[in-house]
């Protein structure tokens, strides 16, 4: 058997796990590991400029590919800088493994230089964590970390590695385990047959059914099955923010995103439904509005791999715990065998209502005179990329506009921090995707507030030729904060405006990239086309938009799902 040092075992285990890229930043506690990285070729390390970006790169990669992303950071501040990234992944159930250096075992607890209790600090935001005790344990711990991160409901796993364990002078027998067994961890492999039968019966008998599909469909790689089911039943489908792309956005049966900034049609359909089939969604507060007024006539079938997500905020009538794909396969099979037929007349009537709600357009807005609207930016992005780009976003108005106006027809293309709402996520996430899909268009839709939260990564982009397109929807304000201040605080703009903005064009140029400024509506489309024609350059498009635009529709606080502001003056 081969003899390896602890440091070499860390890197080799990653290679044996099939990891191609890791994102990280060196430091004292990791110097042995970085030496091991230097001496091999299987795993490529990408040097970020801030550890938060390493986690978001890993996250972006994971969301686009379904495979766990890997970050490597040193002890102390290196580790604490990953916390936002880990929490981001945790909230959206993204598989990720974060390897952190730690002070030598014998010094843990002595407040040594760059010591922090990483396992403790990260505890509430990880699926699990390990503190490696012995070098011999490294392969098994890493194997377990990857297993836990990507099975069941995925999530981030931290592996904290004390420096002495990676000592280059001490060598141990290395073998990467084929299998892993954790007696206390057995995620469900399939749903309960009888529950699925009951669900099928309800679906066949429903007069006003709707499918409410979330990020679990994307994570569970069940988009095709969802589409098949929806077509077979002729049921309208709405997606959550994180579910977008899980059902084709251009499909006739798609009624738009639901929730706080969801379409009038989706929220109306939900509210008036008599049966909700919730798939991989978690009845989040940004969807339900007031849970006591939530969809009063609807029975709820809830499919989720995590039993704790079921009946957490809204009680399910038929809970089905299991992986979305196997549950949907079973459901489709049982539908085929079902004796009886749907009430076609009721369904036709239901579709007539839905189409009447759809008539006003899913997301209507008024174009301005001589001033660009942020919505137009996304529409032109959609047009130029033919709906086929990977689109990441930061957080705020631009995120909602991207979700509303870019119609995602494929899963894993829409990459945003839905649960935690992390500003600074978009650029590094886009970088993680571009690195792995160099021939694809990758756009980061951002704002002048968010982009400044990880703008240092423009340097990483230059180093590794990560030619993403940055679509900076610049309204010179923290738009979403400003919108709430307009609506609830008599337009008292407490710290929601951005003074002293940099010249983003020059800034991009100083990092060695292409900067473009767009100020007038007629300049937008040609500039967008030019940006995407520059395949081998990062282009930073600073697009000046109307600072007074709001995101609509918007649910009215404490109301039901379809109590909405439809514009600044019009409400339901």
Partner 1 sequence: MRRIISVLVENEPGALSRIVGLFSQRNYNIETLTVAPTEDATLSRLTVTTSGNPQVIEQITKQLNKLIDVVKLVDLTEGHHVERELMLIKVRASGPLRAEVKRTADIFRGQIVDVTSSVYTIQLTGTQDKLDGFIESIGQAQVLEVVRSGITGIARGEKVLSL
At residue 251, the 3 state secondary structure works out as: coil
Q: Does 165 bind partner 1 (CB under 8 A)?
A: no
- Parallel, antiparallel or unpaired: strands 21-25 and 514-518: unpaired
Nearer to partner 1, 86 or 473 (CB): 86
Nearer to partner 1, 48 or 125 (CB): 125
Q: Does 464 bind partner 1 (CB under 8 A)?
A: no
Nearer to partner 1, 151 or 436 (CB): 151
Closest C-alpha among 97, 89, 187 to residue 145: 97
Nearer to partner 1, 124 or 194 (CB): 124
- Closest distance between partner 1 and the C-beta of residue 328, in Å? 23
Q: What is the DSSP secondary structure assignment for residue 410, as one 8-state letter? A: S
Q: Does 106 bind partner 1 (CB under 8 A)?
A: no
Which listed residue (35, 136, 228, 306) binds partner 1 by CB under 8 A?
306
Closest C-alpha among 333, 305, 334 to residue 191: 305
Take residue 250 and report the two structure tokens written for it: 């251009």
- Closest distance between partner 1 and the C-beta of residue 317, in Å? 15
Round to whole Å and give the CA distance between 146 and 70. 10
Nearer to partner 1, 47 or 308 (CB): 308
**What does the angle CA 153 – CA 155 – CA 160 come to, to the nearest 5 degrees?**
140
Set 42, 113, 568, 570: catalytic member: 113
Which listed residue (31, 112, 119, 501) binds partner 1 by CB under 8 A?
119
Q: Is 448 a catalytic residue?
A: no
Q: Is 51 a catalytic residue?
A: yes
Q: Is 163 a catalytic residue?
A: yes
Q: Is 532 a catalytic residue?
A: no
Nearer to partner 1, 86 or 200 (CB): 86
Candidates 116-124, 168-176, 250-258, 364-372 — which segment interacts with partner 1 by CB under 8 A? 116-124
Q: Does 311 bind partner 1 (CB under 8 A)?
A: yes
Round to whole Å and give the CA distance between 518 and 372. 9
Q: Does 39 bind partner 1 (CB under 8 A)?
A: no
Q: Is 91 a catalytic residue?
A: no
Residues sharing a CB contact under 8 Å with residue 365, sequence separation 6 or more, in sequence order:
373, 375, 549, 552
Rg (CA), the chain: 24
Q: Does 120 bind partner 1 (CB under 8 A)?
A: yes
* Residue 504 contacts residue 540 (beta carbons within 8 Å): yes
Task: Say what the alpha-carbon torsion angle 549, 554, 556, 559 is, to the nearest 10 degrees.
Answer: 180
Residues 315-334 interacting with partner 1 (rule: CB under 8 A): 315
* Residue 465 contacts residue 452 (beta carbons within 8 Å): no
* Residue 213 contacts residue 235 (beta carbons within 8 Å): no
Q: Does 148 bind partner 1 (CB under 8 A)?
A: yes
Nearer to partner 1, 131 or 451 (CB): 131
Query: What residues form DSSP beta bridges with 3?
Result: 173
Query: What residues form DSSP beta bridges with 544?
Result: 474
Candidates 82-90, 108-116, 126-134, 261-269 — which segment interacts with partner 1 by CB under 8 A? 126-134
**CA distances to 74, 104, 237, 240, 322 from 311, in Å:** 40, 45, 21, 18, 15
Q: Does 129 bind partner 1 (CB under 8 A)?
A: yes
Candidates 22-30, 178-186, 214-222, 517-525 — which segment interacts with partner 1 by CB under 8 A? 178-186
Round to whole Å and give the CA distance between 561 and 56. 32
Round to whole Å and give the CA distance between 65 and 20. 12
Which listed residue (38, 109, 124, 337) binds partner 1 by CB under 8 A?
124
Nearer to partner 1, 120 or 512 (CB): 120
* Residue 415 contacts residue 429 (beta carbons within 8 Å): yes
Set 270, 480, 516, 561: catalytic member: 480
Convert residues 179-198 into a mask of x (bound to partner 1 by CB under 8 A) and - (unbound): ---xxxx-------------
Q: Does 307 bind partner 1 (CB under 8 A)?
A: yes
* Residue 82 contacts residue 70 (beta carbons within 8 Å): no
Set 127, 163, 373, 434: catalytic member: 163
- Parallel, antiparallel or unpaired: strands 554-555 and 564-565: antiparallel
Which listed residue (67, 312, 517, 537) binds partner 1 by CB under 8 A?
312
Number of residues that bind partner 1 (CB under 8 A): 19
Take residue 217 and report the two structure tokens written for it: 């469909």
Q: Which residues are catalytic?
A: 51, 113-114, 163, 480
The contact set with partner 1 (CB under 8 A) reads 119-120, 123-124, 127-129, 131, 148, 182-185, 306-308, 311-312, 315
């Amino acid at each position: 058997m081969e003899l390896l040092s602890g440091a070499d075992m860390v890197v080799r285990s990653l290679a044996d796990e099939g990891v191609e890229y890791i994102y990280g930043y060196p430091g004292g506690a990791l110097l042995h590991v970085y030496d091991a990285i230097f001496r091999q070729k299987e795993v490529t390390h990408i040097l970020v400029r801030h550890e938060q970006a390493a986690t978001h790169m890993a996250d972006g990669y994971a969301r686009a590919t379904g495979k766990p992303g890997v970050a490597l950071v040193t002890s102390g501040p290196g580790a604490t800088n990953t916390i936002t990234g880990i929490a981001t992944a945790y909230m959206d159930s993204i598989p990720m493994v974060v390897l952190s250096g730690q002070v030598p075992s014998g010094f843990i607890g002595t407040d040594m230089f760059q010591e922090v209790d990483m396992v403790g600090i990260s505890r509430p935001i990880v699926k699990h964590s390990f503190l490696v005790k012995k070098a011999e344990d490294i392969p098994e711990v890493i194997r377990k970390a990857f297993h836990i991160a990507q099975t069941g409901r995925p999530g981030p796993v931290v592996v904290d590695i004390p420096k002495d364990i990676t000592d280059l002078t001490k060598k141990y027998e290395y073998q990467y385990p084929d299998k892993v067994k954790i007696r206390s961890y057995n995620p469900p492999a399939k749903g309960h047959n009888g529950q699925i039968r009951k669900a099928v019966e309800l679906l066949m008998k429903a007069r006003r059914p709707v499918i409410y599909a979330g990020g679990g469909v994307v994570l569970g790689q069940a988009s095709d099955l969802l589409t098949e089911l929806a077509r077979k039943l002729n049921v309208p489908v709405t997606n959550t923010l994180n579910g977008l792309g899980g059902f084709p956005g251009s499909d006739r049966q798609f009624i738009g995103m639901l929730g706080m900034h969801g379409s009038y049609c989706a929220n109306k359909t939900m509210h008036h439904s008599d049966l909700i089939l919730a798939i991989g969604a978690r009845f989040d507060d940004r969807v339900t509005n007031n849970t006591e007024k939530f969809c009063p006539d609807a029975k709820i079938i809830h499919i989720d791999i995590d039993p704790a997500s079921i009946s957490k905020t809204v009680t399910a009538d038929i809970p089905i715990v299991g992986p979305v794909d196997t549950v949907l396969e079973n459901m489709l099979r049982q539908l085929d065998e079902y004796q009886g037929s749907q009430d076609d007349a009721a369904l036709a009537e239901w579709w007539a209502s839905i189409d009447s709600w759809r008539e006003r357009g899913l997301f209507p807005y008024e174009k301005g005179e001589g001033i660009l609207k942020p919505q137009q930016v996304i529409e032109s992005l959609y047009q130029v990329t033919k709906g086929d780009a990977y689109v990441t976003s930061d957080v705020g108005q631009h995120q909602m506009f991207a979700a509303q106006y870019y119609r995602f027809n494929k899963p894993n293309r829409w990459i945003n921090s839905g649960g935690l709402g992390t500003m600074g996520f978009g650029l590094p996430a886009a970088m993680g995707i571009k690195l792995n899909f160099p021939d694809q268009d990758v756009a980061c839709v951002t704002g002048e507030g968010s982009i400044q939260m990880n703008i240092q990564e423009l340097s990483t982009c230059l180093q590794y030729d990560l030619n993403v397109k940055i679509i900076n929807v610049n309204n010179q304000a923290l738009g979403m904060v400003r919108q709430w201040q307009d609506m609830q605080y008599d337009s008292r703009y407490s710290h929601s405006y951005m003074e002293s903005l940099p010249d983003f064009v020059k800034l991009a140029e100083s990092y060695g990239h292409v900067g473009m400024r767009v100020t007038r509506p007629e300049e937008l489309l040609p500039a967008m086309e030019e940006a995407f024609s520059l395949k081998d350059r990062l282009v930073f498009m600073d697009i000046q938009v109307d600072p007074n635009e709001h995101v609509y529709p918007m649910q009215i606080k404490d109301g039901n799902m379809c109590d909405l502001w439809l514009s600044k003056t019009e409400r339901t």
